[in-house]
Chains A and B, each alone.
Chain A
Amino acid sequence: MSDDPKSKPPAGESQAERYLHQVEREAARDPLEDIDFAELEHSIYRPRTFLNGLLSWIATLMTLLALVPLFAVLIMLIWKGGQKLSLALFTELPPAPLEQGGGFGNAILGTLVMVALATLITVPLGVLTGVYLAQAGNDSKLASMVRFSAKVLTGFPSILAGVFAYGAIVLITGGYSATAGGIALSILMLPTIILTSESAIAMVPGKMKEASIGLGATGTQTAWMVLLPTAMPGILTGVMLAIARAAGETAPLLFTALFSNYWLNSGGHLNLMQPTASLAVLIYNFSGMPFKNQVELAWAAALVLVVLVLITNLIGQSFSRQQNLQ
């Protein structure tokens, strides 16, 4: 037994007195005594805050790491492709093995022609489908089916578009051609154009549409005079993005357009029914060759292709920025 007066109250105290003492003691105590203020301080030595800071740094680091490949690719392209860059690349034909020099003028032309062909096919199809989807709303069964198909098509493997075009066009027309390549590309462009034009048209304020109909315009007049002009920047963004994607596609062209070492025109006029070169297929073919000249050409072609694709992308993004400013 200790003699500490606090732990053992003086004998003879009544219960009421003891209670009074206790109340007094509690009142005298500092109310903040129990709180550990160090706990409230923002200190990174605490497990909770430490973990918080650590994870923030990890997320930052991982995001920056994710961007490293983009810059690595661009730097390598400029370094390896830039060395070879000259005007002759754009005007000359691909060299034969062991031949020096040469260019890929026909491949640039082929890519442009096939992408233009695909754009001509998909823009009317995709934009009008977008008009229908935006007008039909969510209740129509056909509309939701179409929307679902378009979403599924966005993830459609590009090689299968080539397989399809091979079966449906190359086997029927009897030869590899720019037309088959263009059609294969259009399958890949279609979903992007449908989905972006739908969302662009759906974003047109409802009052504009209602005002047009209220003035007595038919649905067609409303679509052509109000919806499409207003949604044009958004639609153009979608078209440009689709073009950028199609320009870089290789797989659908491998066995539809094949490759060619010659220009696209035969006998003075453009012939779309013959094998056609494209930048992407040229890169693929030349990268596998054991010749230094061809590999260098592949790098230069990759630089040209990436510049083309990035410019198209940036133009597309600038359209959507215009719309945001409006």
Chain B
Amino acid sequence: MASLPDTSRLRGPEEVKAWNADQIWQPPSKAQRWVDVLFRRLCVGFAALTVVLIVLLVVEIGAKAIPAFREYGLRFLYSQTWDPNRHVYGILPEIWGTLYTSLLALFFGTLFGVAAAIFLSEGYMSEGIFKILKMFHVQFHPFWGKLPDRMELLLKNLIELLAAVPSVVYGLWGLFVVIPLIRPACNWLHSQFGWFPLFSTDLSGPGILPAVFVLSIMILPTITAISRDALISVPPKLRTAAYGLGATRWETILGVLLPTASRGIFGGIVLAFGRALGETMALAMLVGNANRLTVSLFSPANTLAALLANTFPEASAREIPVLMYAALVLLAITLVVNMFGALVLERAAAKAEAR
């Protein structure tokens, strides 16, 4: 213990002053090194657990589905009857319903989601508010001058809040508000254009259209958030070059920005598709839970997730492996779609970085 430095002159947090200066000079003790190694191992172990978890999910559901797979084989995927009394099971209507509702929701979600992403990334909101402020000549006032950016952030957060509302609340809203609201219009469409396949039944309660409506609201924030990120990461020089050539704003958007950001947007759409396929509660409440293969928008139908939610709680021991088989099919579809979406987004990010 030679001369210690004057620790009282150390500037900084109190803890630093409190440290024994002797300790700082020492290399890590044996115990500290052991803790270090253990902690690193722990981190790696926990990280590996995430991969193990996915494997476990597949193995667990797959193993429970084996008895049903032995009994029904691949016929399960393309037969249409679901009759627990005779033990005849098929999920073709559910697979069709899952894909049909998801694709329709994806169409509307993409339309509105990408429009909202363009609106947010092009600064329309702040531009509009700036114009309004300019009318009152307060656009540079310290108090009002920040308003445009604040409002744009608020709008972005509001769209993200759409995803925060629990799906069961959307289901409740759809059941007691949306369905009574759209029923007269749907029934009018059916009575006038009943020959058209999409309108070939009337809406008597839960059905595909209200389910699709709520589903597209739920996937819209995903599409908007990812598309907005993709649009913002387009290099500014591309935009300026297009303006310099005399393109109008929308010529720039359609001709330059959207094609450049298309990979990212596509990745977002695929991920949103995955969400739509696996969405459960809103569909279980709104799609009607009818084992029916139909293209009519107003007819009740069923999806894989809704089938599980509605049947599982009261399933007999004999029915459980069958439901596990259906869960396995849903798992396979969503895993493939999600992996594809994650890969597309990873590629898009790598491309954007290389630019």
Contacts and interface: CB of A to CB of B under 8 A. Distances in A.
B43 A132 contact: yes
Contacts of A52: 248-251
Interface string B37-60: 001101110111111011011001
Interface in B105-127: 111-113, 115-116, 118-120, 124
A76 B47 contact: no
B169 A216 contact: no
Interface stretch (A20-28, A85-93, A95-103, A145-153): A145-153
A153 B164 contact: no
B278 A164 contact: no
Contacts of B118: 59
Contacts of B322: none
Interface in A280-326: 280, 283-284, 287-288, 295, 298-299, 302, 305-306, 309-310, 313, 317
A162 B251 CA distance: 48
A158 B327 CA distance: 11
Interface residues of B, number: 91
Contacts of A203: none
B39 A220 contact: yes
A149 B54 contact: yes
A305 to B, nearest CB: 6
A76 B171 CA distance: 13
B189 interface: no
Contacts of B93: none
A131 B43 contact: yes
A179 interface: no
Contacts, number: 261
Interface stretch (B80-88, B131-139, B196-204, B337-345): B337-345
Contacts of A168: 56, 60
A255 B320 CA distance: 12
A284 B168 contact: yes
A160 B327 contact: yes
Given A160-B61, A295-B176, A244 B164 contact: yes
Contacts of B330: 157, 159-160
Contact of A142 (B48, B60, B172, B274): B48
Central interface residue in B172, B284, B346, by most chain A CB within 10 Å: B172
Interface of B is mostly: helix
Contact of B161 (A63, A155, A157, A313): A313
B128 to A, nearest CB: 8
Contacts of B111: 62
Interface in A50-80: 51-52, 55-56, 58-60, 62-63, 65-67, 69-70, 72-73, 76-77, 80
B54 A152 contact: yes
Contacts of B265: none
Contacts of A245: 164
A135 B44 CA distance: 11
B177 interface: yes
A2 interface: no
Given A131-B43, A160-B327, A49 B119 contact: no
B50 A58 contact: no
B287 interface: no
A237 interface: no
Interface string B163-195: 011111111110111000000000000000000
B243 interface: no
B224 to A, nearest CB: 8
Size bracket, chain A contacts: 35 or more
A104 interface: no
Interface stretch (B25-33, B233-241, B291-299): B25-33
A27 to B, nearest CB: 30
A200 interface: no
Given A250-B281, A309-B165, 18 more contacts: A55-B253, A60-B124, A66-B116, A72-B177, A73-B170, A128-B42, A142-B51, A155-B341, A160-B330, A160-B334, A163-B323, A164-B60, A220-B36, A220-B40, A247-B166, A248-B167, A248-B169, A295-B176
6 contacts: A55-B253, A166-B312, A167-B324, A218-B36, A219-B39, A280-B168
Interface of A: 48-49, 51-52, 55-56, 58-60, 62-63, 65-67, 69-70, 72-73, 76-77, 80, 124-125, 128-129, 131-133, 135, 142-143, 145-146, 148-160, 162-164, 166-168, 187, 190-191, 194, 215-216, 218-221, 223, 244-245, 247-251, 254-255, 258, 280, 283-284, 287-288, 295, 298-299, 302, 305-306, 309-310, 313, 317
Interface of B: 24, 27-28, 32-33, 35-36, 39-40, 42-44, 46-51, 53-54, 56-57, 60-61, 64, 111-113, 115-116, 118-120, 124, 128, 155, 157-159, 161-162, 164-173, 175-177, 217, 220, 224, 248-251, 253, 271, 274-275, 277-281, 284-285, 305, 308-309, 312-313, 323-324, 327, 330-331, 334-335, 337-339, 341-342, 345-346
Query: Closest 5 CB pairs between A and B?
Result: A157-B278, A248-B166, A132-B43, A62-B115, A251-B280
